[in-house]
Structure 1
Amino acid sequence: MPRRRAASTPPAHRAPSHRPAEAVTSLPPRPLRRVLFRQHWRDLVFLHWPADPFRVAGLLPPGTVPDLHQGRTYVGLVFFRMENLAFGRLPPVPYLGSFGEVNVRLYSRDALGRRGVVFRSLDCDRLLPVLTARAGFGLPYQWSRISTGWFDNRLLYTTARRTADHPGARAWLDVEDSPVTPGPLEEFLTCRWGLHERIRGRTYYLPNAHPAWTFRACTLLDWEDALIPAAGLPKPQGEPVSVLYAPGLPVRFGTPVRLPTS
């Protein structure tokens, strides 16, 4: 009688002896031992769609697997303004330390159970931060044109890369003053205390810390995206399953930690 194969999970980069995933918490689960750099994120817009875990697994760095919420994983398109970038205890970098950013991100977990994000692309409208982040952390930054504008209570983000094909994205939102309480899915997507990346043949975890998120009620009026397919995933079909607006918060990043399984 032929042997029946066991049901499989997304196989790419599966690491042995995984610990259970850490709980999703609104505050960092551990303190930063040392602050490598600081920054302030403002006017964040999060758009999310479901993604195929098997396809996502092939896009993650070795030593990580897709992080799942109720059996599903997601791809995020995130727009925001970064301000007051500073290193260690130094004062913020003038001019070059403030810029627009749009990123495509996936959700990961490592063998120690730490939940993180994996950036498939990060579009930025300052060239020097693009070159620095690529060289220092292996992050896939792209030099782009990004514009941000408020029109009464409506927020518009647009971006286009400075490449021949000019892939870009746009988000147009109506933002209200009333606060909203995030649900379990929104907490899963935004309570992330580090990122996973690979550089020079090794996967690392870069921890971060910030206050608890505050969100405001918002309505997505219109959107366009060519960045998710440019990042190796299918073009989103239909409206996002989660739309969030956050006014912003200060963020600190610690020193990179090498994954033991990489």
Structure 2
Amino acid sequence: MTDRARERAAGPLLHRPVTVHAWQDIVFAHWRSDPGALARLVPRGTRPDVVDGSAWVGLSAYVFDETRVPPFPSAGRLGRMTEVTLEVLTVDDQGRHGVTYRTVDTANVPAIVAAHALLGVPYTFAHAGSRRRGDTVAHRSVRHSGRVRHPFRWAHSLHRDRAPDAPRPRGAASVRVHAGDVVDTPLAAELTTRAGIHARYLAQTLFWQRQHAPLTVRSARLDQLEGDLPAAVGLSGLFDREPDSLLVVDGTTVRYSWGGVIR
């Protein structure tokens, strides 16, 4: 990890943490993009972050566990969920390198309500699940109401052909990768280690600071990636090509705190 990314990950929080979470089985998929094409998708006071000559769109998917709201103890199973996100890497006028979420899809209703009411983060209800077998990690999110009673049925049907007359889900995403060796490159560090979240909240742009230990990042091989979730959030065609960067982090603990109003 570069010194800059290491400082970004472990930098002191400006305020007391508002939430603390364990992230497990994290998949990072990133695609190069044109900054001009993404400018309309980011909040005022921010712009697409150019890293290694490109702006970047990302999919991040992980198991969100052991949630705490200091000074209270862990919420245990009540705080466990899968999150599947689509995001644009952003930077603000103060030079803080963050992400702007286009969506965070999850089945945890309390998290959705709190994120919308307090954080300005666009959480969306979906039937989301994760599986890990050895170094193979899979995450899936489906907004379609027909999957309500069987949110994990996807795990048994990843290779089935869809019937011609079958309804297409409105906002689905699934990713399965096989994790490989540890990588320690400047690009991997920049794509995975972000200083926080840039979020629209009413007429303002907010910054929520993120802190975690330096990440151990692994390379990954793509086994499967599909879904129409990108089209639902203004990123049509994203899954039509393989990611330009595909990485896995086995786990970390993430702390969020208030970072300030940008504009």
TM class by smaller structure: 0.7 to 0.9
**Cα pair distance change 1:143/1:162, threshold 3 Å:** farther
C-alpha contact 1:167 1:226 (8 A) present in aligned 2: yes
Tell me whether 73-82 or 25-34 shows the greater mean CA deviation: 25-34
Write the letter of the residue equivalent to 1:25: A
Choose the corresponding residue for 1:68, options 50, 54, 64. Answer: 50
Whether contact under 8 Å (1:194, 1:206) holds in the other structure is yes
SS of the aligned residue for 2:5 comes to coil
Alignment partners' CA distance in 2, 1:243 and 1:199: 31
SS at match of 1:192: coil
Q: Which residue does the alignment assign to 1:95?
A: 77
Do the aligned residues in 2 keep the contact of 1:77 with 1:228 (CA within 8 Å)? no
1:27 is paired with a residue whose SS is helix
Q: Residue 96 of structure 1: CA displacement?
A: 2.5
Kept after mapping to 2: 8 A contact 1:228/1:234: yes
The equivalent of 2:11 in structure 1 is 30
Deviation, structure 1 residue 163: 5.3
Match of 2:28 among 34, 42, 46: 46
Q: Do 1:24 and 1:191's aligned partners in 2 also have CA atoms closer than 8 Å?
A: no
1:134-178 per-residue CA deviation (whole Å, 9 max, x = no partner) reads 1111111011111211234322222101458432111122234x4
Query: Which stretches in structure 1 are left out of the alignment for 5+ residues?
Result: 1-22
Give the secondary structure class of the aligned counterpart of 2:126: strand
Contact 2:33–2:54 under 8 Å retained in 1: yes
| Percent of paired sites with the same residue | 28
Conserved in 2, the CA contact under 8 Å of 1:96 and 1:128? no
Contact 1:115/1:192 (CA < 8 Å) preserved in 2? yes
Give the Cα–Cα distance (whole angstroms) in 1 for the partners of residues 136 and 46 of structure 2. Answer: 38
Query: In the comparison of the two structures, how many residue pairs are matched?
Result: 236
CA distance in 2, matches of 1:109, 1:152: 36
Question: Counterpart of 2:43 in 1: which secondary structure?
Answer: coil
2:222 aligned with 1:240 = no
- For the 8 Å contact 1:49–1:74, the answer to whether it is kept is yes
SS at match of 1:121: strand
Partner AA of 2:11 in structure 1: R
Task: Return the letter of the residue paired with 2:177.
Answer: L
Query: 1:51-200, aligned counterparts within 5 Å?
Result: 51-162=33-144, 165-176=169-180, 178=181, 180-200=182-202
1:95, distance to aligned residue in structure 2 (A): 2.7
- Asked if 1:249 is matched to 2:252, the reply is yes
Q: Which residue of 2 aligns with 1:5?
A: none
Paired letter, 1:30: G
* Deviation digits for residues 99-127 of structure 1 (CA, Å, limit 9, x no counterpart): 00000010111111111100000001111
Match of 1:222 in 2: 224
TM-score for the superposition, normalised by structure 1: 0.84
Whichever structure has more helix as a proportion of its residues is: 2
Measure how far apart 1:213 and its partner are.
Answer: 0.6
Aligned to 2:207: 205
Does the CA-based 8 Å contact 1:27-1:211 persist in structure 2? no
Kept in 1, the 8 Å contact 2:219–2:246? The answer is: no
Amino acid at match of 1:243: L
Query: Structure 2: 5+ residue runs without aligned partners?
Result: 147-168
Q: CA deviation at 1:208?
A: 1.1
- Counterpart of 1:172, as a letter, is R
Secondary structure of residue in 1 paired with 2:79: coil
TM-score by length of 2: 0.84
